[in-house]
Amino acid sequence: MIGYLEGKATHLHVDSCFLQVCGVGYRVFISAMTRQKITPGAEILLFTHLHVREDALLLYGFYSQTEYEMFQHLLEVSGIGPKVAMGILSVMTPERFRLAVSQKKLEELTRLPGIGKKTAERIILELKDKLGAGTMEMDTDLSSDKQSDNGALAQQALQALLALGYTQSEVLPILRKAAPEAETVEELIKAVLKEFVRR
């Protein structure tokens, strides 16, 4: 499974982008929320989900780990596939969706693209116990760092390290210490991994 891709966004389309990684261009389907954060020609990191069909291998990418995790939760609901999940995340943030589910706002959920009343009821039934507040904490953990020039680098590095299996509690202290001196995400990740080797 491809956990994430880091490279240059060479082309940006309505529902996808081309991500150039080591000379290879990957077509990655993205939500409208992720699309707003991508600038053509910029270096980005996208967390990815590989969807296997009989006739195709499709990559879905997400700018934040929070959006990626919500996509995974949506796929757990019977009747919801990748396209419907992306449609939901294109019009509603993960935080707002979690709130709608926890408060059982059926009317709000049925306004989402591809979601009827029965599917909305299944979403509430199957996800209300899974979408606890803890699943949405990651994007705010570096809120203070976001005010600095290296805040975006620290956030991307955190997301990448979490994808590798490290925990927030062990990564955040090192990230906050290393972020001011780092110039790239790769450099910041290496600094954190180097610190783990020393321990």
Q: What is the CATH number of the domain that holds 35?
A: 2.40.50.140
Indicate which CATH number applies to the domain containing 128: 1.10.150.20
Structural domain boundaries enclosing 17: 4-62
Cβ atoms < 10 Å from Cβ of 49: 20
Q: Whole-angstrom Cα distance, residue 170 to residue 192?
A: 10
Among 48-52, 113-117, 172-176, which is the least confidently predicted range?
172-176
The region of weakest confidence among 24-38, 73-87, 102-116, 163-177 is 163-177
Residues 131 and 145 in one domain: no
Tell me the C-alpha distance between 190 and 199, whole Å: 15
Structural domains of the chain, count:
3
Rounded to two decimals, the pTM is: 0.65
**Are residues 127 and 176 located together in one domain of the fold?**
no
Residues 9 and 34 in one domain: yes
**Are 20 and 80 in a shared domain?**
no
Structural domain ending residue among the three candidates 98, 120, 135: 135
Give yes or no: residues 78 and 122 share one domain: yes
CA distance 44 to 160: 12
| 73 and 125 both lie in a single domain | yes
